[in-house]
Amino acid sequence: MARMIGIDLGTTNCCVAVVEGARPEVIPSKEGSRTVPSVVGFTAKGDRLVGQIAKRQAVTNPTNTVYAVKRLIGRKYNSPEVQKARGLMPYAITEAVNGDVRIRILDKDYSPQELSAVILGRLKAMAEEHLGCDVSEAIITVPAYFDDSQRQATRDAGRIAGLKVARIINEPTAAALAFGLDDESDRTVAVFDLGGGTFDVSILRIGEGVFEVKATSGDTFLGGEDFDQRIVEWLLAEFQQQSGIDLKGDTLALQRLKEAAEKAKCELSLLTQTEIKLPFICSDKSGPKHLSLALTREKLEEMVRDLVERTEDPCREALTLAGMAADEVDDVLLVGGQAKMPLVIETVRRIFGRDPNQNENPDEVVGIGAAVQAGIIQGDIKDLVLLDVTPLSLGLETRGGMFTKLIERSSTIPTRRKKTFTTVMDNQSKVEINVLQGEREIAAHNRSLGKFELVGISPAPKGVPQVEVCFDIDSNGIVNVSARDLSTGKQQKIVVTPSSGLSEREITSIIEDAKVNEEEDRKKAELGRLTSRIEGLLESNIKTFSEFGEMLDKEKQEYVRTVLDSARRAVAGNSVSEATQVLEKLGEVSQILTDVMLYDPNTFQSETDAEVDQESESG
């Protein structure tokens, strides 16, 4: 029987969970980690790497390693967010013919949806291996402030990965589901979700098994990646001041700086000072250069204070939309890795006038909540109802280029709204419906989700025809729009396909291509995992053999050399069976070398020597 899983598709890390026996549980990776890095890498041979293995090779292969792709999904190339990302990411972000975003890897262009699908496919495979059955459906979470284009693009990514996306739910809402699963008391909860790339805040009313979202707000381009970048910029400036060398054009150095920045940021959530040391960061005529700097929590807070302050207005806006004051909130739940930062916790305390609840793991709570929603749909979890809201207003362009709203932001979904319009010209035979999403009064300042025409309107003076427009938002937040001429009954409707999404033909082509190459891709992925393990063992065994190899007899020395040579060939080869055999032999070599390392000739005593000692004692 196929199962439904819950997925938190994060900017930095992902989490996948499932309901077992009416209880949600996180599915770990093969390495035992409960989260998977949202990273996709490509080797020089074109092999695809996902997760931790891709993140490990990012330092040596930054231009072919893609991270934070969630920041690009569902956006146009010319958007301010994408242009900002172009200045931060080491990989190439390009523009497609229709203005969509593409990422160029090894002379091939990929859409953000395709790369997100690679990550989702890895999570699907993890779940299937853990559960021992097929996984065909999923609940996928998105930031509450994602617009229709970004939600549609996320659904497309799920389809490409071979998943039927049963529902898209907002990340703060998922967190609240996990948080309130065992608590039946009536209360108001604020979910403060500051992750790797996005910030959301939602106000929910929980009571009698009903989770009702009252309001939501946020910023889809604010997260841990921005905090890391501030540290990187500081390191670049400090190093240039000390050495006179500008590292901005060195992609390898920048990737090392980014990893060091993320590590230092995490450490400063627990410590007041940390050391950042990067030996051989570069070299000049005088020789190699090393970076060694101390970073204090106080300095970090000074660098990122404005980023933290950007979370305040959305929080107050969400409270206003919910029609309540901060002191009416009973609990504040922290979600997302960046929410662990002491300055963030202090800011939350100041905004809401209370200590935030930190009982839930901020890295896992969204994935668990997604699994809870899957459990509700499958009937494994009963007596829970989720009522979500739309994050932005929806409407259409009317006369004079104005934006007329049909559905106000923070309306509970699913919902439907109708409004009747008329023509602006005599004998007008058709009208164009330009579907918009946003909050600005001028149509051009909002996002166009799609356009369609209603044709065949009966000739009549302007103002006479009656055209009824209906907006319908389903439980996923996906928009359906229809227009009907009330006099003739003629109707036209669309499921809004965002202009920054993939076409149906492109999606079908990608899915078919994946099926054709499924077995080859599986072998490549398996070879990549094996090769990574071989490389790690090979390096450690070579080092140990160089130090302790002379203590082995000649026969064992020759065996170790043979295995190490085979391992070198396996790393450069394409055979899964050969790599598997070599990995097993490397394990044997590791044991041989471990035994010789543990051998101490000063305490070793042969049986013959022991017998001599016994004879001496008896004599």
What secondary structure letter does DSSP report for 357? B
> How far apart are the C-alpha atoms of 478 and 498, rounded to whole Å?
10
Q: Which two tokens stand for residue 145?
A: 């402030």
Residue 330 designated active-site: no
Residue identified by tokens 């490549």 is 524
Q: Which of 8, 148, 225, 388 is catalytic?
A: 8
> How far apart are the C-alpha atoms of 14 and 10, rounded to whole Å?
5
Report the Cα–Cα distance between both ends of the chain, in Å, rounded.
78
Q: Which of 114, 137, 193, 200 is catalytic?
A: 193
> How far apart are the C-alpha atoms of 462 and 399, rounded to whole Å?
13
CB 162 within 8 A of CB 109: no
Nearest to 361 by CA among 127, 204, 178, 138: 178
Residue 539 designated active-site: no
> How far apart are the C-alpha atoms of 403 and 167, rounded to whole Å?
29
> CB neighbours of 82 closer than 8 A, spacing ≥ 6?
72, 75, 76, 93, 101
Q: Which of 137, 171, 225, 226 is catalytic?
A: 171
CB 446 within 8 A of CB 439: yes
How many CA within 13 A on the CB side of residue 578?
13
Q: Which helix (H) or strand (E) holds 227?
A: helix 224-243
Gyration radius of the chain's alpha carbons: 29
Q: Which two tokens stand for residue 403?
A: 């934006």
Amino acid found at 276: I
Residue 186 designated active-site: no
CB 10 within 8 A of CB 195: yes
Residue identified by tokens 């590791």 is 590
> How far apart are the C-alpha atoms of 412 and 213, rounded to whole Å?
7
Residue identified by tokens 């090894």 is 106
> How far apart are the C-alpha atoms of 251 and 92, rounded to whole Å?
12
Backbone angles phi, psi at 618, to 5 degrees: -70, -30
Report the residue count for the chain.
619
> How far apart are the C-alpha atoms of 563 and 267, rounded to whole Å?
40
Nearest to 503 by CA among 135, 75, 100: 100
What residues are labeled active site? 8, 70, 171, 193
